[in-house]
């Protein structure tokens, strides 16, 4: 990973918060994301499932986290399952987590190779009454591809139909909405990287520049600061393109007198920043542009005052 290693105590705390909310004699299982294919032997870059990362710090494909706080034996209370690595894999695919390295990252002592997952789970399910499954219940989620998590849930229901089922998602939504100090530092780091990109772009923008050239300047600054890149697809919308709510083509020329809407943010260690700014292509706002800009700014500043504990989203 490009980012500096995160103190494993964060993940120890996160697991403790989650297991404290579990029902007696229950098991929770969390899967990593898949590596998704493009065509032939090419794939999209791997992006870890945020839930298993939140609980373990493991940023690797084909990983499973199992939590069983009431297990009768200590080595079954929390287990990390990883794809077995060797020198051949290290040469062809790069370094993967060893058992020792996985403990350094996660603080989990019991690390088992993935090929023994089903055998281990069978033993554990003999002791447990309930399993927590991890479904994506975000109100805007539209999922057309069967995920690794979904495949596991289908397999589990077929093989252990007599066990009770609970949902991890409501617990994680509550826990993850309140950040630990270490997480705030990581988010601040992502914001700082975004600021560096913005300041770089301010010196770069001028009439005749292409939107994708501005995107490239952000990407360069993000990567050179240990970010994997954009936290989301960037919007670099000049002129009338800014009227498209989620314009992502970024392929037009910036013209004198126009404004550029920038909606970009860097990620850092799987934490995201999000910045929106409006800048004049020629370096100065016209009188009318300044009036509109300040009107929007006044609304934003008043809305910011409402962002205090106790405010409901509907009020905001």
Q: How many residues does the chain have?
A: 316
What pLDDT score was predicted for residue 27? 98
Note the pTM of the prediction, 2 decimals: 0.93
User: Which residue ranges form the domains of the chain, and what is each CATH number?
Assistant: 9-176 (3.40.350.10), 181-284 (3.90.230.10)
What pLDDT score was predicted for residue 91? 78
d(CA 1, CA 117): 25
The residue ranges of the chain whose pLDDT is under 50 are: none
Alpha helices in the chain (DSSP H): 9-19, 50-56, 87-93, 99-106, 117-127, 148-159, 169-176, 181-202, 211-223, 287-305
Tell me the three state secondary structure of residue 49.
Answer: coil
d(CA 237, CA 254): 9
What pLDDT score was predicted for residue 92? 79
Helices and strands (H, E) in the chain, number of each type: 10, 13
């Amino acid at each position: 990973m490009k980012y500096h290693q995160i103190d494993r105590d964060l993940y120890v705390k996160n697991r403790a918060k989650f297991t404290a909310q579990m029902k007696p004699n229950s098991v929770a299982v969390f899967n990593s994301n898949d590596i998704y294919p493009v065509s032939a032997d090419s794939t999209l870059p791997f992006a870890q499932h945020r839930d298993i990362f939140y609980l373990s710090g493991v940023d690797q494909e084909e990983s499973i986290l199992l939590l069983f706080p009431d297990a009768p034996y200590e080595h079954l209370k929390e287990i990390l399952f990883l794809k077995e690595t060797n020198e051949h894999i290290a040469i062809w695919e790069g370094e993967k987590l060893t058992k020792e390295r996985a403990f350094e990252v996660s603080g989990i002592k019991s690390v088992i190779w993935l090929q023994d997952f089903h055998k281990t789970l069978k033993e554990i399910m003999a002791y447990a009454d309930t399993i927590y499954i991890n479904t994506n219940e975000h109100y805007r989620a539209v999922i057309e591809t069967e995920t690794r998590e979904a495949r596991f849930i289908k397999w589990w229901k077929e093989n252990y139909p007599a066990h009770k089922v609970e949902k991890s998602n409501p617990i994680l939504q509550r826990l993850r909405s309140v950040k630990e100090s270490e997480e705030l530092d990581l988010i601040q780091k992502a914001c700082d990287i975004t600021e560096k990109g913005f300041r770089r772009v301010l010196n770069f923008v001028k009439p005749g520049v292409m939107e994708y050239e501005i995107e490239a300047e952000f990407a360069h600054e993000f990567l050179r600061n240990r970010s994997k890149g954009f936290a989301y697809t960037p919007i670099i919308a000049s002129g009338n393109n800014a009227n498209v709510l989620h314009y992502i083509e970024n392929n037009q020329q910036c013209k004198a007198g126009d404004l550029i809407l920038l909606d970009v943010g860097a990620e850092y260690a799987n934490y995201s920043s999000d910045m929106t700014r409006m800048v004049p292509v020629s370096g100065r706002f016209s009188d009318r542009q300044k009036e509109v800009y300040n009107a929007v700014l006044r609304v934003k500043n008043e809305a910011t005052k409402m962002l205090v504990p106790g405010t409901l989203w509907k009020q905001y």
